[in-house]
Every structure is written in C-alpha cells, then in structure tokens.
Amino acid sequence: MSRRSWSRDAVIYQLYVRSFADSDGDGTGDLLGVTSRLDYLTDLGVDALWLTPFYRSPMADGGYDVADYRDVDPRFGTLADFDKLLMEAHARGLRVIIDVVPNHCSDQHVWFQAALTAAPGSPERQRFHFRLGRGEAGERPPNDWQSIFRGPAWTRLPDGDWYLHLFAPEQPDLNWDHPEVRAEFANVLRFWLDRGVDGIRIDVAHGLVKAPGLPDVGHQGTTLLVGDETPFFDQDGVHEIYREWRSILDSYEPERIAVAEAWLPNVYRTARYVRPDELHQAFNFEFLGAPWSAGAYRRVVDSSLEVMGSVGAPTTWVMSNHDVVRHVSRLAAGVGGAAGGARAASGVAAQADLALGLRRARAATLLMLPLPGSVYLYQGEELGLPEVFDLPDEARQDPVFVRSKGTELGRDGCRVPLPWSGSQPPYGFGPAGSVPWLPQPASWAESSVAAQSGVASSTLTLYRDALRLRRELVALGDGELRWLDQPGDEVLVFERPGRAGDPGVLCAVNLGSVAVPVAAATGPPLIASGPLTPDGLLPPDTAAWWTIR
Ligand code: GLC
C-alpha cells in the first residue's frame, strides 16, 4: 500500500483506564471519566489514545485477563459509554487504539469454563494447551517453562490434566494452532473495527505461537523484559497471524493500524513484526531500556532508524508504560536494561534521587520528541510523576507482587491514579471523598494538572510547548536526522531539517557531568528542559532545541 499512514509520526498517549479518571466514585477509572477529560488531551497536543483493556474481566491482571472480548466491564462502563468516548474523541480529531489480548484469556472466559467441565482429551480442552504431567503419576509439570509472573507456567486440575499459562494461572494460554481461536479473534477485531476504532495494540504479540511439542527451555527462568530465545516467544508462526490481521485492517476505511507489544532480544527481531504486510508499528523497548548515556542513546537511535527503515516501517519511541518503573525514578538511578522490570523495582527505589530523575526525564522528553517516527507517552509522565515505591503491601494488586511472595514490588507503583486538582486525595481523580484503588502520595498535590497548568517551569508546560513545537517545526515521520560532532563524549547534538520553508530544529542533550557549549546553536533556545547557564552553556542533564539558522 503506498499511502502514508497517519501513525508514522503520531504522538500516542497511553491511557491506563483504571487510573485515569473515575466518573462514578468507585475508586476505579472508567470510560466516562476518560470522555470527561478529552479536552485535556487535545490541549496537551497528542494525536491518538491507546486505551488499556476495559473488557469484562475478573481483574486478576488489571484487565489483561479478558472474560468477554466483546463487552465492557461494568467497572469501566458500558458499550454505549465506549461509543460515546469514541465519538467525542473523533469529534476532537483524536484517534483511538484499543488493546487486544490474544495470547491468553481469563479463566472465567466461556471457553475455559467449558474446558474445565469437559473431560481430559475433549475438544473443549484443545483450544488451550492441556497436557499430561511428567513423572509416574503425572505429578510434575509437562515441561520446565516458568511463568513471566514467577512460578511454574503450568497448573494442574483435580482430574490430573495440566494447563499452560505464561502469565497468571487465571490467564490460560490459547492454542493458536486451533482454527476456532484464529476465527474468533478475526471476529473480535471486526467487532471493534466496525465500531470505529482506529487501531489495535497487540498484547504479548510475540507469544501466540509455541514451538511444536512444547519442548523444554533447558534453563530456568524468563523475564518480562528481555526476550531470551525461548520455545514460547517469537516463533515464526506468529507472522502468518499478523499477515491475516493486516488484511483485515486494510479492508477498512479510513485506515486502521496495529502496534505490537513484543519484548524481543534485538531490533532485528522486532523489525520482522513490521514488514510491509504485517503490523504498522512495534514498541521500541530498546530505547526505553537505554541507560543514561550518550553512547547508548545514539546507538539505539541509529540502529532503530536503520533497521526499521530497512523494512519501510517507522520507528517508535517510548520511555514508560504500565509495566515498567516510571522513567523519572529509573533515570534517577541511571540504570538501563530491564530496569523497568518489576524485578528491579526495589533496587531502583534505593537509589532514587527524584530531583535528578526529573531533570533527566525532562531532558529525555526533548531528546525523544524531535526524533523521526511515532512517540508513545504514558499517562502521568507529562506531570513528571515518579514511581510510587512505598505502597502498603495490602494495597498492591499486581500478581507479580503476590506470586513472588513480595520479593518483587511489581507494577502497581506506575499505576497510581492521576492527580488532577486539589490539595488532598483523590486529587480530582474521582469525586471528593472517593477512595482511589491505589493510594496517592501526599506530595502529589503539587504535581496535579491544576497545580502545573499555566506554570512556566512545570513539566506539563514543557510537554505542551514541546508537542506544539514538534507539530509546527520539525519535519516529522520519515524526515532526516543528522548528528553533529560535538567535543565531549556525553553530549548528543542533532539536526532535524524542517518542512518546506521551515528552518528545522537543532537539539542538544547533555548527559554528562559538566556544562558544555553547543557550538551549532545560535540565539536563545526555543525550548529547554531546564535553565541554561548565564553564559549560555548547556548544563548536565539538560536538553534544548534551537531554530537552525
Ligand atoms: C503485557 C501487558 C501486561 C500484562 C501482560 C499479560 O505485557 O502489557 O500488563 O500483564 O501482557 O497480559
């Protein structure tokens, strides 16, 4: 297809529905809450929203355990609320992407309920991965796979059969070799595309197909963040599914897009998901995982652009999401790699210097926004929110916390409901007196949208201004990125030529420890993540943009 996709240069705002805005005061965010705040998102200047799952779900994994793919959970509202949200978003020019969860369903899904009551070997069990155990009495799991949420990836039923769940036991893996599974998801896609959604985010996109025979991994352990080679991730067979899905997406007007969530060992493997007849985008988790170092960022920017470009796909840029430690806290510790991991959370907490983290996060925003490609923002990063490490144990809901027996904090700390206004919880997240599903820190009064609006030095103002400049000044999408040589290893300087008639933008980011001159810059910056020195030097942990002259 030759037409240029709207998504190639889009800024997409990830909305964790449960924690965005609560219209009815039950402590959980909902679809009407989202609709009531759409003007905030247009003011912020994003192009599209990605809504995390709002389907019927027992919430064993925050909604990534779907019991009915065609209905809205009463906690989040109704299908009519969804239609209203979509209509109101479209009226404002905002596109809407929904989350599709095809690797597994909830144990409450009708298919799994039918499998539970059916006998071993029955057709009802063939839609999942049921197996006999090892050992004389089948008392050991069928293979050595470990759950990404810790513990074995298999659970045994009273009748002796074991079933596979790469995540929680309440999330049985579907068998994608079964034609009914394929047909069902094709229909689920059509259900939402017919309603008018503009795209889908595919959860665990690399997991659907398992190696034939479900062979042992041969070594213990998996991680959510680093996709080691395993028999359950990144099998060639997944690509055929996405080719079929692409043809479904392409049968709709106006254009519908898909983005893959796939934690893979390298960008070459990721690029296979965005070949021309497959998906439009994949999250760039290498960028997210880069440590605070000029060399690391330059390498990941170059390799992402080159490798994604080689298959004709846009690069995406992302710093945070609902599965990783918020980047203010991550960058405070200067760690990279799988730092987001629920695993690393306690180590990161111990090292966090939040003022430093916020300076770096603001600089990272100005590094990310002028890069060619599409950007994903995670709700609350525009407020500079840190990870909340000190949630009380009894408030935590992430299965990672429970399954690791508390040795890992899990992902609740990046999911704390947003502060909108006011001096005490729920800070406008819900009606006064309502109690958010996770407690909000006392310090969040000063981080609220109301507290930051109109304040020149606030992080919200930085995002609003930078997103406006990105729209106005930088040649987006496929434009060129030109690195400029800069003495000193820990400084990145690049140019983004403007659209016809526009001068373009020079961006410099200081990741080092001393203030530096930016030779190519002339005049005052268009925008800076923090003040320059009185003689115009770029301080450490600071980024700025200038008009190219
Ligand atoms: C993805 C989601 C995560 C979820 C997991 C299982 O990684 O982003 O939140 O727990 O899939 O569905």
Q: What is the pLDDT of residues 59-102, one digit of tens each?
A: 999 999 999 999 999 999 999 999 999 999 999 999 999 999 99
- What's the topology of domain 110-164? Oligo-1,6-glucosidase; domain 2 (3.90.400)
Which atom of ligand 1 lies nearest, measured to the CA of 322? 9
Pocket of ligand 1 (CB under 6 A): 61, 64, 101, 167, 203-204, 261, 322-323
Using only C-alpha atoms, what is the Rg of the chain?
23
Distance CA 318, CA 322 (A): 12
Residue in this structure with the two tokens 């479900």, named with its chain if needed: 214
* 420 token code pair: 């909108």
Q: Is the pLDDT of residue 347 over 90?
A: no
Q: Which helix (H) or strand (E) holds 195?
A: helix 179-195
| Active-site hit among 99, 173, 198, 203 | 203
**Protein residue with its CA nearest to atom 2 in ligand 1:** 203
CA of 173 to the centre of ligand 1 (A): 13
Options 3.10.300.10, 3.20.20.80, 3.40.50.920, 3.10.310.40; CATH of 6-105+177-218+226-376? 3.20.20.80
In sequence order, which residues have a C-beta less than 8 Å from that of residue 466 and are 6 or more positions away?
365, 366, 369, 527, 545
Q: What is the pLDDT of residues 113-139, one digit of tens each?
A: 999 999 999 999 999 999 999 999 999
CA of 150 to the centre of ligand 1 (A): 14
Q: Is the pLDDT of residue 238 over 90?
A: yes
Helix (H, G, I), strand (E, B) or coil at 331: helix
The pLDDT confidence band at residue 187, using thresholds 50, 70 and 90, is very high
State residue 219's pLDDT score. Answer: 63
Ligand 1 pocket, mutate which of 19, 148, 166, 167 (most atoms under 8 A from CB): 167
State residue 178's pLDDT score. Answer: 98
- Structurally, at CATH architecture level, domain 478-548 sits in Sandwich (2.60)
Distance CA 97, CA 31 (A): 14
CA of 384 to the centre of ligand 1 (A): 23
Beta bridge partners of 15: 51
Contacts 24+ apart (CB under 8 A), 192-195: 192/98, 192/100, 193/248, 193/249, 193/252, 193/256, 195/82, 195/83, 195/86
161 closest CA partner among 201, 195, 122, 105: 122
* 311 token code pair: 């298959």
**Protein residue with its CA nearest to atom 3 in ligand 1:** 323
Catalytic-residue membership of 394: no
Q: What is the pLDDT of residues 13-41, one digit of tens each?
A: 999 999 999 999 999 999 999 999 999 99
First to last CA, the chain: 37
CA of 334 to the centre of ligand 1 (A): 25
In this chain, the answer to whether the domains covering 6-105+177-218+226-376 and 478-548 adopt an identical fold is no
Q: Residue 362's CB: how many other CB atoms inside 10 A?
A: 23
| Mean pLDDT, residues 487-515 taken together | 89
CA of 271 to the centre of ligand 1 (A): 21
State residue 17's pLDDT score. Answer: 98
Give percent of the chain above pLDDT 70.
94
List the domain boundaries for the chain. Answer: 6-105+177-218+226-376, 110-164, 478-548
Cβ atoms of residues 403 and 6 within 8 Å: no
Q: What is the mean pLDDT of the chain?
A: 93
Catalytic-residue membership of 261: yes
Give the global pTM: 0.96
- Lowest average pLDDT, out of 247-261, 473-487, 516-530, goes to 473-487
Which atom of ligand 1 lies nearest, measured to the CA of 65? 12
Helix (H, G, I), strand (E, B) or coil at 15: strand
The pLDDT confidence band at residue 489, using thresholds 50, 70 and 90, is confident
CA of 64 to the centre of ligand 1 (A): 6
Distance CA 358, CA 322 (A): 18
| Mean pLDDT, residues 428-439 taken together | 98
Which atom of ligand 1 lies nearest, measured to the CA of 104? 12
Q: Strand 95-100 relative to strand 199-202: parallel, antiparallel, unpaired?
A: parallel
Write out the DSSP string of 263-299. Answer: --SSHHHHHGGGSTTS-SEE--HHHHT--S-HHHHHH
| Active-site hit among 47, 170, 261, 278 | 261
Q: Residue 407's CB: how many other CB atoms inside 10 A?
A: 11
Q: What is the pLDDT of residues 298-333, one digit of tens each?
A: 999 999 999 999 999 999 999 999 999 999 999 987
The pLDDT confidence band at residue 334, using thresholds 50, 70 and 90, is low
Helix (H, G, I), strand (E, B) or coil at 333: helix
Residue-level length of the chain: 549
Q: Is the pLDDT of residue 403 over 80?
A: yes
